[in-house]
Structures are given as C-alpha cells and as structure tokens.
C-alpha cells in the first residue's frame, strides 16, 4: 500500500497535533464536575468521524455521551466494530506530574498527558488509518463501525445499556480494541486473555462524631482500627485471598501456559528498576507474569479516615472507608465474589461498628480463541505495522466490555495493544510513544486490508 503509507508520512505531524487537541480535553469520567468536557471530547471525535464521510452520531445517555459512526456495508467482506473510550482516569496526584496532565508535552519521542495511551492515543490510530485509506485508496474494503464511550474508567454502565438495546446496529464479525500494551519495547503483542474485576467501596461508622482519643480511646470502636483489621484479613501473607470459596472457580494454570509464559523475554530486574523496588511481591508459588496475568489479586485503591493534615491530632475518628478490588481470572464470576464477600466482611466487622459495602463495578475475565482467521489477519497486520511478528500474551487489566461483546454480540475481540507497560496508564506522567502511535496507524490500515480478505 505505497500510496497509503506515503499519505501517512505526509500527515504524521498533523496527526500528532490532532492527538494533542484531544488530550487537552480533561474528560475525567469519575469527576462529575467534568460533564462539559465529556461532551467536548465526544463532539471532537464526532467531528473527526463525520469529516471522513462516515455516518456519525453523538448518542446522549444518562451519563457521558457515546460516539457512534459507520461506513457503508461491503458485501462479502466482514464488518468490524472498533471500540475505544475517550474518558480518562483522574489525574491526581497532580504534584507528581512533570508537565500538566492536560497540557500534552512531547519529550523523548513520547507525548505526555492523561489519556495519551489510555485510550485516546490508541483509539485515534484507527480513526487515522481510516482517514488515510479513504484519502489514498478510496472506499473502505470492509464495513467499519466505531463505538466510542466515555465511561470505560467508571464501569461502562450506559454503554452496557446501549449494547443490549442496539444489537442490530452493532452487529459485526469481530471487535477491535487498542487499549492494551505491547509485551515490551520491540515486542508487539496480541492479548488473548484479560483478568476480570470486582470493585467495592467499604464504609465503616463507629460513634456518631469524632471523639477525643484520650477521653474515649480504648472504650469505643475506632473505625480506622477496625478498617485495618478487616482489610488485613482479606488476604494472607502468602498472597492468598481469604474470602470463603474465592478460588472455587479458578482454573489452575496448565503446564503449557506456564511454560509459554516462562519462555517470554521477561526481565524481572528491569521491572524492579523501573518501579524502584528492591523486591517484587505477590502470591507464593507463581512467577511474576503468572501473578500479573493469570492469578487473582486483592488491591486497595484508596483508604481514608480521620485527620490527614499537618501535625498530630488526637482524634478518634467516627468513620473510615476504602476502595478496593479483586482482579479475577477467567471463569470467576464477580457476582459470586460479591455474594461471598458481603457475609465475610460482616463476620469481620466488630460489634460497635456499622458497615456499608457498595458494589461499584464488576466484570469476569476473558480468553479469546487463538486459531480464528481474524486472529491470523491481526497477527499479519501487526507484523506489517511494527516490523515484527507479535507475541501472544495475557494482561492483568480488565476490559469488561470484551466479555459483553461476546455475550451480547456473540463475537470475539482482537486486543491489539500499541502501548507500553511503562506508559503509566492510571498514574502520573502517562505517556504514549509517538513512534508507536504511527506504527499503530500503519498496523490498523493493514488490519483493514487483511480482514477484508476474509470471506463472510
């Protein structure tokens, strides 16, 4: 496709500028004060897709809007649904960013901004490959549908509803998502497995007001003490989760899987250096890749209670809380986890404290078949875009919608990640390699080419 590749070269600088435009919009879905920015981001994407001649629409929902667009059907060729999300994680802690999260900055071949890799930069590769195809080669060789949401980081509640209500419109042969990572720099990857998640908020209340810890300490439940006691009992020191029945549905790793993971060029020392930790940690009896990709975990995402300011306040706080989640492996059900967790927490809650457990969001894990023609086409496209055959990996994160696409639309998802593991998704100084941005666009263009060869 020399004509198309030439177009991409000529448009490279403009594509980067357009990515920065999108990154400047602080579309933080968890922040209810950002509603206008959610709409701005949706309208920006809508404008892009409409200008390509696609039938594009901003779909209002009870939350941030969806953006939907589609090209014309191509008889005999497959229909592909490209999914992405324009919402981003909160940017705090702000003081840890070298440059402001919503002022995209180019440094060392990367663009630094919240959402650079997750998912604005990766999502945009598919928009730009379509633009290039249409400009350089004419009509698309297959039907492409875009479905872009603004609630991925907070549970996709409204997308879920839209998906169920618009199955005909979203009908397709395969879904494509670029919201994952390469295995490492120079190791493009296709992700065939994801962990699920069950996310909770636990709130504890003790006395009806903050008390003087001298006057009342030792005679009344301290909710912060209680919270540490409860949370510490959810996992043991060997990294085993203690919720009764938690491992019942966990399928053990096969010897073949363990051998394949062990064969990947994973550099544990480099990871330690990257994170600046003397030791990695985790469940006893499993390798680091196994722990990250294929074993359940328990992580507290946030904890609060009492006095967090300067100096020493001798208060006995009246409430405390925490947000935490379990990462689940395929075959575990987040609803079963929640059902087992609630009575377990209740049993751990000391008399004199009151407990409230909020089920925030959940999704089961997923495994995609490796032997389909779609997967073969994707591998070829990635190899052409990145110059190297992809490795097949699993990833520890969750993309709940992948499960729902399977359940509702009956199709598999190709997880083609252009990011890198040290892109700091969800952390300060999130970045995306501009070289990978352009490689991703090329791979995406090749993907349309390869997928269009599949006869349906």
Q: Which residues are catalytically annotated?
A: 87, 152
The answer to whether 289 and 267 are in contact (CB under 8 A) is no
Question: Both tokens of residue 52?
Answer: 């390509």
Residues contacting residue 259 through CB under 8 Å, at least 6 positions apart: none
- Closest approach, Cβ 322 to a second copy, in A, equals 8
Instruction: Please say whether the beta carbons of 421 and 341 come within 8 A.
Output: no
Measured from the CB atom, is 78 or 121 closer to a second copy? 121
**Nearest CB to a second copy, comparing residues 29 and 79:** 29
Least distance in angstroms from the C-beta of 262 to a second copy: 15
How far is residue 7's CA from residue 441's CA, in Å, rounded to a whole number?
A: 11
Strand partners, 169: none
Element (H, E) at 425: none
Measured CA to CA, the distance from residue 378 to residue 384 in angstroms comes to 10
Q: Which is nearer to a second copy, 120 or 361 (CB)?
A: 361
In angstroms, give the least distance from the CB of 246 to a second copy: 14
In terms of Cα–Cα distance, which of 20, 29, 83 is closest to 431? 20
Q: How far is the CB of 407 from a second copy (least distance, A)?
A: 20
Identify whether 204 is preceded by a cis peptide bond (ω within 30 of 0).
no
Q: In which element (H, E) is residue 249 found?
A: none
Closer CB to a second copy, residue 42 or residue 316? 316
Question: Least distance to a second copy from the beta carbon of 193, Å?
Answer: 12
Residue 442 main-chain phi, psi, to 5 deg: -65, -45
Nearer to a second copy, 29 or 332 (CB): 29
What are residue 28's DSSP bridge partners? Answer: 88
The answer to whether the CB of 147 falls within 8 A of the CB of 170 is yes
């Amino acid at each position: 496709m020399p004509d198309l590749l030439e177009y991409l070269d000529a448009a490279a600088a403009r594509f980067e500028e357009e990515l920065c435009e999108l990154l400047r919009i602080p579309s933080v879905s968890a922040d209810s004060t950002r509603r206008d920015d959610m709409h701005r981001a949706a309208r920006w994407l809508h404008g892009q897709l409409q200008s390509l001649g696609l039938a594009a629409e901003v779909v209002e929902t009870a939350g941030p809007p969806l953006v939907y667009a589609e090209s014309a059907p191509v008889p005999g060729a497959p229909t592909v649904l490209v999914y992405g999300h324009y919402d981003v994680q909160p940017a705090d802690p702000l003081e840890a960013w070298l440059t402001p999260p919503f002022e995209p900055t180019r440094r060392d071949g990367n663009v630094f901004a919240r959402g650079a890799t997750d998912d604005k930069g990766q999502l945009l590769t598919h928009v730009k490959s379509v633009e290039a195809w249409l400009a350089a080669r004419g009509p698309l060789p297959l039907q492409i549908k875009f479905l872009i949401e603004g609630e991925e980081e907070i549970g996709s509640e409204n997308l879920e509803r839209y998906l169920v209500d618009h199955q005909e419109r979203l009908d397709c042969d395969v879904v494509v998502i670029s919201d994952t990572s390469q295995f490492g720099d120079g190791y493009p990857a296709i992700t065939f497995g994801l962990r699920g998640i069950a996310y909770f908020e636990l709130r504890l209340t003790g006395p009806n007001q903050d008390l003087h810890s001298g006057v009342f300490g030792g005679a009344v439940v301290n909710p912060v003490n209680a919270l540490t006691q409860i949370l510490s009992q959810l996992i043991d020191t060997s990294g085993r989760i203690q919720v009764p029945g938690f491992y019942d549905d966990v399928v053990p790793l096969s010897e073949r899987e363990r051998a394949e993971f062990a064969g990947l060029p994973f550099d544990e020392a480099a990871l330690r250096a990257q994170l600046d930790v003397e030791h990695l940690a985790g469940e006893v009896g499993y390798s680091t890749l196994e722990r990250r990709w294929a074993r359940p975990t328990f992580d507290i995402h946030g904890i609060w209670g009492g006095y967090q300011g300067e100096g020493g306040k001798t208060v006995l706080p009246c409430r405390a809380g925490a947000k935490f989640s379990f990462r689940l492996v395929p075959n575990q059900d987040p609803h079963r986890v929640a059902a087992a967790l609630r009575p377990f927490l209740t049993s751990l809650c000391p008399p004199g404290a009151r407990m409230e457990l909020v089920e925030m969001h959940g999704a089961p894990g997923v495994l995609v078949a490796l032997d389909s023609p779609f997967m073969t086409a994707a591998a070829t496209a990635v190899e052409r875009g990145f110059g190297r055959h992809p490795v097949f990996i699993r990833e520890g994160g969750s993309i709940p919608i992948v499960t729902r696409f399977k359940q509702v639309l009956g199709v598999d998802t190709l997880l083609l990640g252009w990011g890198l593991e040290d892109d700091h998704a969800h952390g300060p100084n999130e970045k995306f390699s501009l070289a990978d941005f352009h490689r991703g666009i090329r791979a995406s263009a090749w993907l349309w080419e390869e997928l269009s060869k599949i006869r349906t």
